[in-house]
Structure 1
Amino acid sequence: MRAIYATDLSAASEAAIKNETSLESLQQIGVESIHLVTVVPSNVYAGVPAMNLEERRQQALDRYQSAMESAGFDVETHVVRGTPHRRINGIAEAVRADLSIVGSRGKSPLENRVIGSTARNLARTTVVPLLVTRIERETDEPAIRREHLFRRILFATDFSENSERAFDAFSSLRHAADGATLVHVESPKDVEATEGAEPTERLSELAEQLEEWDIDTRIDVRRGDPADEILAAAAETDPTTILLGSRGRSRLRRLLLGSVSESVVTRADENVYLVPPPRTA
């Protein structure tokens, strides 16, 4: 697997990149090469006195590269200018990445500002699966909150086609997973939710597959607001990562991120692994 690792070169980002446990987790799921990317925003000018931003950022990436190469990865670095999420997505497409990774400090003291703008925009527009890692806030020595990235996975499904694609991620994640909770929320607003086989039966079929991979699995069928119930299930089971598709039953192509996915990404304390639909021509 080939991954894009986006960094703003902050202390929090450095802590995530150099965390041996999280790097080992990436290796367990098959990541072999990493493209380290940092973006100089378009509104930051190169002529700022005493600041050669590209050179300084390249020096920082070189340090990160050494740490990752020592951990066993093949690493390339990219210092680019532009709008961060657009450039990161562009590089992901250019190198045919299998995964993009971005850190987020999670909930901010400012109400409704719970995820960095780059992470939010990537969640809405990513062209490949996206891993949002949660990093501690308001500390001099920040660290990843759940460094065993994929040890316990909460998989949320609405049984849509893209939820099936998200479940397929277990084919690689299983190599780092010990346990999983499969959650379906019956929403009063979604009349299609109970069509076909009963949710418990459908979750049980998925659980059987994971059990064959020696992943200790439980199922959980809830009713209520999907985002609220997914987050409540996470609070009860303490997963390291929440796995879900970025779009569910909506047929609106312009809806880049379903309201449920957006709410989970922005409100969760856990890492979030977001799987988008296949990119159309």
Structure 2
Amino acid sequence: MTAVQTARSTRSGPQKRPRNRDWLHGLLMSAPAVAGLVAFVGIPFGYAVVLSFYNVRLGSPLAPSFFGLEQYRRLFTDPDLSGPFLRALLNNLTFAVVVVPLQTGLALALAILLNRKLKAIGFFRSLFFMPVVFPMTLVAVIWRLILARSDQGLLNSALHAVSFGNWGAFDWLGDSATAMASVIVLSVWQGVGFQMVILLAGLQQIPGELYEAAELDRATAWQQFRHVTLPGIRGTLVFVAMLTSVLSFRVFDQVYVLIHGGGLDEDATRTVMYQAV
């Protein structure tokens, strides 16, 4: 019995040391990233939470006064504040619920389409990625010209030509039924290329032998996608969905430009970030 215990102890001893050493190495390698995350995200976020309990006025010589939960109470009970805030929060949720699955699904479809060894495939990848390079302010100005309410708007002009003059000028930005849809379309158009590149990198990490084995088993294209592609990029898909969700709650540039320069319906498209600014 003693010999067995001695043998077990000698076996477990060398195994624990490499594990502890790997854990220490991983901790040291992640320390710069963790330090940056704490310094540039954690501390500012905590400071913002603390400031929310104070009455702070930029440029005022008066010292900040402690308000406690008074500002939160007014945010949900004061009609002058709660109405616009809740409307902005609802618009943000609507934007996120539509954009996250739509943009992620479209990015995945484009990544699969461009994950091929064809001539000039690099050109098409660059073409789909190009809108990401444009600033959102410039994108909003471009789409303001496309969706202009007059007959000079590109979309209205195209529909007028296709319908042989039967289509009248429609206010895409000013109508509450299409204002949010317009913001969603231009946001997806500008950002889908970024998610596409991330998913394309994930697709290229899947070993080709898995697809060859699936073809030998006579798996259909849908079965290969379901049992080979999706499991291979599950982590990448989760990352893309989380990143898109975070960015969808930071919508500001396109809404601000279209409201102040394109006649966008403010009540139908105001967001929490826009309301705060």
Normalization by structure 1: what TM-score?
A: 0.22
Q: Which has the higher helix share?
A: 2
Normalization by structure 2: what TM-score?
A: 0.22
- Relative contact order (C-alpha < 8 Å, sep 6+): which is higher? 2
Q: Which has the higher strand share?
A: 1
